[in-house]
């Protein structure tokens, strides 16, 4: 049963088709279980795998089309129908099949054939597909879409020009103090103006997710949220351990960076609207223009790095699998997706012509490279790693491409961009811990008011990002940042994955400086392995240290301080 060219494949995927195809699979479970060997179960799993490939691919195609223009009514309706009808039908059936496989006498044979990680992935996914939460998952998806659509419609007027939110945010790196403050206030001011609507969406989301956790006998959503991230190596206790290491080693360096930046600006204190500009590290606005040349330049970067990876990039360009430029109606953010039934990987960006575009493009292509290199993996559930491991490939690519970004920058600019990347690593670690601590607090206190959430956000912000001066006019914006963080609304507990991956990516950056060829081989092997191991297994297998090793954070921050001249 191959759904790549299946003769019964419908022109439009419907819940009825999904239910009928899954019913056939479920109907085979009893006879497969009664068989003396695992051959029938292997055949059943292969057909189940093909069906999942097709259904997930359709969902990815619909989302990719819709996020390109969220004003398109036809795309919106197609995405809604899939999310509200097809997804629940497939989730309920997948839950039944997972339960049957995990209880099977042939489970060990399947684990031996596909790898033990498959069984672990299915085990951790089982509660996330619980039938009693089907309607709630649909509701959570609708709330996330409401947030996406509201933010995608966001526009502000600066000096008589109407700009999308990504373009306004790009101005916060301006060398002109008045411009970046005006942009900062306009960008976060939009979220403050829409605070009541966004807070109401989030309150509903938290209530829905809390109910989902309680439906499974949990105290709150935290345990189910971790399962949704596919985590098998660590839990909330390890996350706190990681945050403690960041607070001990990275937060003091964050304060030093802020003081250094304020001094370079000739300011008495480090103000939030100045975060995006460092006179010695920030490149000029529009440095990555014209946007229509970004792909040509990126192609040359990847060719110099690795002809093998460059071939993937050029293949994506030829097939129109890179949506690059920001435009009105386009969803915010950037992401990588895949259409496994077509053996294709695609990326989505919002380029505006600034240096951030270069980082975003290399980041998303890191995801894409892993997706292409993992095509050999038979089980769809193992093509992509768990989310904590997935970000290693994307962030690692940011470091591996640094020596070749003279395609975009002058030698002086490249030196600034490289130092800036290490600065951003420190800032990222600290900010991620604000988000992660905040999300744990929110789901441990699900009935808290919007005001209480805002107050707690500022507590964590001051704890992990010390030195920012929120006094005076800035106080109005102190709690606004979380309203602009997509992951808080759409992917609870995801964000710490960026910090965990950053510790691995920084290690790749150090290794690249010592032995480029060995580092590239390590990177390619990580890509090839996909999700066939857990995050700690993959890192250990590549010779990288665990992110939960406290001394690692100490050593990485010492190197970052040296690069930045703050040791």
Domains in the chain: boundaries: 15-114
Nearest alpha-carbon partner for 503 in 395, 342, 415: 395
Please enumerate, as own/partner, the contacts of 195-202 that have beta carbons within 8 Å and a separation of 24 or more: 195/450, 195/480, 195/483, 196/450, 197/150, 198/147, 198/150, 198/483, 199/450, 199/453, 199/483, 201/143, 201/146, 201/147, 201/150, 201/489, 202/147, 202/450, 202/453, 202/488, 202/489
Alpha carbons within 13 A on the beta-carbon side of 44: 27
pLDDT by residue (tens digit) across 131-140? 999 999 999 9
Q: Which residues pair with 253 in a beta bridge?
A: none
- Distance between CA atoms of residues 468 and 478, nearest Å: 10
Q: Which residues pair with 322 in a beta bridge?
A: 347
User: In this predicted structure, what is the pLDDT of residue 50?
Assistant: 95
Question: What CA–CA distances, in Å, run from 37 to 98, 112, 114, 128, 270?
Answer: 19, 13, 16, 30, 68
Task: Evaluate whether 250 touches 553 at the Cβ level (below 8 Å).
Answer: yes
Nearest alpha-carbon partner for 265 in 257, 277, 256: 277
pLDDT by residue (tens digit) across 2-20? 444 454 788 889 999 999 9
Task: Please state the rounded mean pLDDT for residues 53-59.
Answer: 96
- Distance between CA atoms of residues 364 and 192, nearest Å: 30
Residue linked to tokens 């792909």? 295
- Distance between CA atoms of residues 174 and 440, nearest Å: 35
User: In this predicted structure, what is the pLDDT of residue 6?
Assistant: 52
Quote the pTM value: 0.87
Encoded tokens for 303: 């060719």
Residue 531 — pLDDT band, cuts 50, 70, 90? Answer: very high
User: In this predicted structure, what is the pLDDT of residue 268?
Assistant: 94
Nearest alpha-carbon partner for 369 in 351, 349, 388, 396: 396
Task: Please state the rounded mean pLDDT for residues 542-548.
Answer: 93
Within 8 A by CB and 6+ apart from 500, the residues are 242, 388, 391, 535, 547
Per cent of the chain over pLDDT 90 is 91
- Distance between CA atoms of residues 485 and 489, nearest Å: 7
Task: Evaluate whether 346 touches 316 at the Cβ level (below 8 Å).
Answer: yes
Encoded tokens for 506: 């920084």
Nearest alpha-carbon partner for 366 in 323, 396, 399, 404: 396
Residue 49 — pLDDT band, cuts 50, 70, 90? Answer: very high
pLDDT by residue (tens digit) across 293-322? 999 999 999 999 999 999 999 999 999 999
Task: Please state the rounded mean pLDDT for residues 212-237.
Answer: 94
pLDDT by residue (tens digit) across 487-509? 999 989 989 999 999 999 999 99
Q: How many other C-beta atoms lie within 10 A of the C-beta of residue 235?
A: 12
Task: Please state the rounded mean pLDDT for residues 161-166.
Answer: 93
Task: Please state the rounded mean pLDDT for residues 267-276.
Answer: 96
What's the chain's length in residues?
567
Residue 332 — pLDDT band, cuts 50, 70, 90? Answer: confident
Encoded tokens for 35: 């068989």
Q: Is the pLDDT of residue 173 over 70?
A: yes
Q: What is the DSSP letter of 534?
A: -
| Helix, strand, coil share (%) of the chain residues, nearest 5 | 70, 5, 25
Within 8 A by CB and 6+ apart from 285, the residues are 170, 171, 173, 174, 175, 353, 354
Q: Is the pLDDT of residue 1 over 60?
A: no
**Beta-strand (E) ranges in 128-266?**
155-158, 161-164
User: In this predicted structure, what is the pLDDT of residue 388?
Assistant: 80
Task: Please state the rounded mean pLDDT for residues 56-64.
Answer: 97
- Distance between CA atoms of residues 171 and 278, nearest Å: 14
User: In this predicted structure, what is the pLDDT of residue 507?
Assistant: 95
Q: Is the pLDDT of residue 336 over 60?
A: yes
- Distance between CA atoms of residues 402 and 302, nearest Å: 11
Q: Which residues pair with 338 in a beta bridge?
A: 345
Which backbone phi and psi does 156 adopt, to 5 degrees?
-135, 160
- Distance between CA atoms of residues 517 and 6, nearest Å: 43
User: In this predicted structure, what is the pLDDT of residue 207?
Assistant: 98
Determine if the peptide bond prior to 290 is cis (ω within 30°).
Answer: yes
């Amino acid at each position: 049963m191959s759904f790549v060219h299946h003769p019964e494949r419908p022109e439009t995927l419907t819940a009825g088709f999904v239910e009928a195809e899954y019913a056939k699979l479920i109907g085979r479970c009893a006879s497969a279980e009664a068989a003396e060997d695992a051959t029938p179960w292997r055949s059943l799993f292969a057909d189940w795998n093909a069906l999942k490939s097709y259904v997930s691919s359709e969902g990815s195609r619909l989302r990719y089309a819709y996020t390109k223009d969220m004003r398109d009514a036809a795309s919106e309706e197609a995405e809604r129908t899939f999310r509200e009808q097809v997804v629940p039908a497939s989730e309920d059936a997948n839950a039944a099949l997972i339960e049957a496989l995990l209880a099977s006498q042939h489970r060990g044979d399947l684990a031996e054939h596909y790898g033990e990680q498959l069984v672990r992935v299915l085990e951790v996914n089982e509660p996330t597909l619980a039938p009693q939460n089907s309607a709630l998952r649909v509701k959570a998806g609708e709330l996330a879409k409401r947030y996406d659509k509201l933010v995608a419609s966001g526009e502000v007027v600066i000096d008589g020009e109407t700009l999308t939110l990504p373009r306004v945010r790009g101005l916060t790196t301006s060398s002109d103090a008045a411009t970046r403050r005006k942009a900062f206030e306009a960008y976060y001011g939009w979220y403050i103006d829409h605070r009541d609507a966004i807070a109401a969406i989030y309150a509903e989301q938290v209530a829905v997710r809390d109910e989902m956790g309680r439906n499974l006998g949990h105290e709150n959503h935290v345990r189910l949220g971790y399962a949704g991230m596919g985590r098998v190596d660590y839990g909330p206790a390890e996350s706190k351990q990681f945050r403690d290491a960041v607070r001990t080693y990275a937060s003091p360096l964050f304060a030093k960076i802020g003081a250094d930046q304020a001094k370079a600006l000739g300011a008495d204190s480090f103000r939030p609207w100045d975060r995006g500009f460092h006179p010695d590290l920030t490149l000029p606005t529009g440095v990555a223009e014209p946007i229509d040349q970004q792909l040509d330049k990126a192609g040359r970067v990847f060719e110099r790095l690795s002809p093998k990876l460059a071939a993937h990039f050029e293949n994506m360009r030829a097939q129109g699998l890179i949506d690059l430029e920001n435009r009105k109606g386009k969803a915010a953010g950037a992401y990588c997706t895949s259409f496994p039934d077509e053996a294709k990987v695609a990326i989505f960006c919002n380029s505006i012509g600034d240096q951030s575009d270069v980082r975003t493009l290399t980041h998303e292509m890191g995801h894409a490279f892993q997706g292409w290199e993992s095509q050999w993996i038979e089980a769809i559930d193992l093509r992509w790693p768990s989310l904590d491991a997935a970000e290693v490939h994307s962030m690692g690519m940011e470091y591996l491409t640094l020596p070749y970004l003279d395609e975009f920058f002058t030698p002086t600019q490249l030196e600034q961009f490289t130092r800036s990347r290490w600065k951003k690593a420190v800032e990222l670690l600290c900010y991620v811990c604000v988000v992660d601590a905040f999300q744990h607090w929110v789901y441990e206190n699900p009935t808290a008011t919007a005001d209480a959430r805002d107050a707690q956000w500022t507590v964590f912000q001051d704890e992990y990002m010390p030195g920012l001066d929120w006094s005076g006019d800035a106080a109005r914006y102190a709690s606004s940042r979380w309203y602009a963080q997509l992951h808080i609304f759409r992917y609870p507990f995801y964000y710490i994955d960026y910090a965990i991956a950053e510790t691995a990516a920084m290690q790749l950056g150090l290794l690249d400086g010592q032995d480029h060829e060995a580092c590239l081989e390590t990177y390619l092997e990580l890509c090839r392995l996909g999700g066939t191991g857990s995050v700690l297994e993959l890192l250990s297998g590549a010779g990288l240290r665990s992110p939960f090793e406290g001394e690692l954070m100490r050593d990485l921050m010492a190197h970052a301080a040296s690069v930045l001249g703050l040791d």
